[in-house]
Structure 1
Amino acid sequence: MKKGFALPLAALTLLVAQAVNAAPLRIAADPVPHAEILEYVKTLDPGLDLNITELSNGVNANELLAAGDVDANYFQHLPYLHDQEKALGKTFAVAAAVHIEPLGLYSSKIKTLAALPEGARIAVPNNTTNLSRALLLLQQSGLITLKGAATSLLTPADISANPKKIKIVEIESPQIPRALDDVDAAVINGNYALEAGLVPAKDALALESATNNPYANLLVTTPSLAKDPRILRLAKDLRSPKVAAFIRQHYNGSVIPVVDEQHD
């Protein structure tokens, strides 16, 4: 009896595996540049069936992933992912590091850092990791001095010197471009700057260095899907020389492929 059922069971297992591998890969991504890069991957690898959900403000792509509503997401860097794992009580899996979006300092009122007035109001992201990252950019720009180490999460309380008496205004990251006219300057994430029509490599008064940058944007999935052939295939596509070339040519230095930084 056992031998009689062995073949049908094996055949059923194979059919289930084939059905899973043939199913569309559901992935949530920020519209710019993430979804644009994924759309380019679709032209390179039409055999990989990608179902792309563009994220809107207020939608947490890690909650979607944890709930099984998507199979992967592509929008975040590792420090943010670690914060999310703690907040959600979930463990995720990094499938690939794809690109870096340098954080930039922008202004609609001044053209140079030297023109920043005393008492200037500077908007920064209010989430833990990007707030710390923004403060490091302000230090890199010579505007403030921080007492904390670059590896720790910093807050305005860590400012040890502030010669221009800058006022830090914390705002939700997606809202900062809209607030640009209401402050003297603003630190804006690369993707939100691009969505707002800014060109980081040209318009930023100061731009985060990409060298040894820990904030590479990631393809993230669940531990159970980490070895899924569709995930592995997408990860390989996103790290390919053709996608790196697309990122370089399409974003002109405002988005930097990780493969260039690591010389893969």
Structure 2
Amino acid sequence: MKRRILLAAIAASPAIALFGCSKNDSSSAQKTIKLGTLSGPHAEVAEEAKKVAAKKGLNVQIIEFSDYGQVNEALAAKDIDCNAFQHVPFLEKAKSSKGYQFTALGKTVLFPLGVYSQKIHTKTEIADGMLVSVPADPANLGRGLQLLERNGIIKLKDGVGIHATTHDIAENPKHLVFREVDSAYLGRSLPDVGFAVINGSWAVKSKLSPEKDAFILEGADSDFANVLVTRTEDKDKPEFKTLLASFQSPEVKQFVKDKFKGSVVAAF
């Protein structure tokens, strides 16, 4: 009788061990989400946030894009779960024009927009009739024109705000000539213009240092900080709260400070 009980216990032990192993595997499984971003500095910041998220039990797969427009399209198509590459004015413009049902979850980093030149070093050197290249995309165009207005270079029509275009310039005392250029080519336009207004991420890609090379630069309190964005239907899912906390972590803040030295700044 004792022998039968012992054999039954031995026979059952592998099943018990297997059950215990399966339970542990399940508890240690990580949730995986796909994060869309732009190649370059955006992706580098995302990689650092990914490391932090992994410690919190969240696996982040980073999908890099080279075109601004593709990232939101991918989110709408559910090819990715969230993205981190745009500021709120850009997001609102995209939602208005495309009908996206997206929600901004919180701020990540700021790529300061600046004014660059190979010919002058201060705004007092701006000459009459200078050619100026500005971003062709609507959100960054309005942002750039506002920056010029805040520095007394032009004056815009009342109330146009971030939606300003070159047609909304009410006063242009230096008779500047504005040329809209795709953001990817603004850095390359510098030899041919008096100065250019360039978004921080594209400045870095053009081997420019916003902190050192811009003679006018946005501050860290700008309204144009990048945000983590997901579909509105998913905004309350815990994995996105975890990812936002990872972006806003001390580790990411220190990485941004050490890596970019002012070219990118933490916005949290």
1:221 matches 2:219: no
1:44 matches 2:52: yes
Q: Please name the residue that 1:183 is paired with.
A: 193
Q: Please name the residue that 2:5 is paired with.
A: none
Report the TM-score when normalising by structure 1: 0.84
For structure 2, list consecutive stretches of 5 or more residues without a partner in the other structure. 1-25
Checking the alignment, whether the CA contact within 8 Å between 2:103 and 2:232 is kept in structure 1 is yes
Misfit runs of 4+, over 6 Å: none
**1:229 shift after superposition:** 2.4
CA distance in 1, matches of 2:162, 2:189: 28
Superposition pairs for residues 48-127 of structure 1, below 5 Å? 48-57=58-67, 59-127=69-137
**1:150 shift after superposition:** 6.8
Checking the alignment, whether the CA contact within 8 Å between 1:136 and 1:150 is kept in structure 2 is no
Q: Percent of aligned pairs with the same residue?
A: 36
Q: Please name the residue that 1:203 is paired with.
A: 213
1:156 matches 2:166: yes
CA distance in 2, matches of 1:152, 1:173: 17
**1:249 shift after superposition:** 2.3
CA distance in 2, matches of 1:157, 1:38: 37
Moved more, 230-239 or 51-60: 51-60
Checking the alignment, whether the CA contact within 8 Å between 1:27 and 1:50 is kept in structure 2 is yes
Q: Please name the residue that 1:144 is paired with.
A: 154
Checking the alignment, whether the CA contact within 8 Å between 2:116 and 2:195 is kept in structure 1 is yes
CA distance in 1, matches of 2:189, 2:67: 15
**1:257 shift after superposition:** 1.2
CA distance in 1, matches of 2:105, 2:162: 25
For structure 1, list consecutive stretches of 5 or more residues without a partner in the other structure. 1-17, 260-264
Q: Please name the residue that 2:239 is paired with.
A: 230
CA distance in 2, matches of 1:243, 1:101: 15
Over residues 151-179 of structure 1, what are the superposed CA-to-partner deviations in whole Å (9 max), with x where a residue is unaligned? 45212222222121101111122221222
Checking the alignment, whether the CA contact within 8 Å between 1:74 and 1:217 is kept in structure 2 is yes
Q: Name which one, 1 or 2, has greater alpha-carbon Rg.
A: 2
**1:57 shift after superposition:** 3.0
Equivalences, count: 240
**1:37 shift after superposition:** 0.9
**1:94 shift after superposition:** 1.3
Over residues 170-195 of structure 1, what are the superposed CA-to-partner deviations in whole Å (9 max), with x where a residue is unaligned? 11222212222222211000111111
CA distance in 1, matches of 2:38, 2:218: 20
Q: What is the aligned counterpart of 1:25 among 33, 48, 57?
A: 33
Q: Give, as a single letter, the amino acid of the residue that structure 2 aligns with 1:39.
A: E
Report the TM-score when normalising by structure 2: 0.83
Q: Please name the residue that 1:173 is paired with.
A: 183
CA distance in 1, matches of 2:198, 2:182: 10
CA distance in 2, matches of 1:74, 1:169: 29
**1:58 shift after superposition:** 6.0
CA distance in 2, matches of 1:37, 1:152: 26
Moved more, 62-71 or 148-157: 148-157
Q: Give, as a single letter, the amino acid of the residue that structure 2 aligns with 1:84.
A: A
Over residues 202-246 of structure 1, what are the superposed CA-to-partner deviations in whole Å (9 max), with x where a residue is unaligned? 1001112333x2211011011222122221111111112221222
**1:196 shift after superposition:** 1.3
Q: Give, as a single letter, the amino acid of the residue that structure 1 aligns with 2:152.
A: G
Q: Please name the residue that 2:14 is paired with.
A: none
